[in-house]
Amino acid sequence: MNVLLISLLLGLLQESGSLPGSKTEETLIDIDVREADVQDVLRLLAEVGSFNLAVDPGVSCKATLKLKQVPWPQVLELVLRTCGLEQERLGENLVRVASAEEIRKEYEARRKYQEEKALAGPLETRYVRLAYGKARDLAPILTKFLSPRGSVVFDERTNTLIVTDIRR
């Protein structure tokens, strides 16, 4: 029954002149569903907003909505928040929907991978001979700017800093 309401609503939208193929984000929609599967509602919004949709397999929620003359992006955001979901935009018109926790886990995994990749480079050592400062005084200051793999040692006799770190 919910699918019938959604498809009927989509037909009414097309008749009223608000075509789903239009690229404007201000397409106003009316939606009235009771305990509709969130995947069906998302498919409707994808049709109205002219974007491609990928929904993770574990996504399930029942949504009850009664909205009149609301821009479709606001409806999308409302449905996602109501069901504890988030969207991830991939490219211009591809939207992936998954649980908020799943999106956060993937983001953290990507961030961690990028950090590890950045730290995995070969170490490079430079010798910096100082003329106007003391190497002993500058070594602790420089350690604040190094990666976790980097190190600074000093040779007091020659007033030289020996800095080892990955190349950035």
pLDDT for 11 equals 47
Contact 9, 36 (CB under 8 A): no
Using the structure block, give the residue that is written with the tokens 């799943």. 102
Q: Give the confidence band of 12 by pLDDT, cuts at 50, 70, 90.
A: very low
Rounded Cα gap, residues 139 and 164, in angstroms: 12
- CA distances (Å), 157 to each of 130, 134, 160, in order? 11, 11, 8
Q: Is the pLDDT of residue 110 over 90?
A: yes
Short-list 33, 107, 149, CA closest to 43: 33
CB contact set of 5 (below 8 Å; sequence gap of 6+): 32, 33, 36
9 burial class (0-12, 13-18, 19+ CB within 10 angstroms)?
middle
Q: What domains does the chain contain, in order, with CATH numbers?
A: 2-101 (3.55.50.30), 119-166 (3.30.1370.120)
pLDDT per residue over 57-100, tens digit each? Answer: 989 999 999 999 999 999 999 999 999 999 999 988 899 999 99
Q: Is 87 helix (H, G, I), strand (E, B) or coil?
A: strand
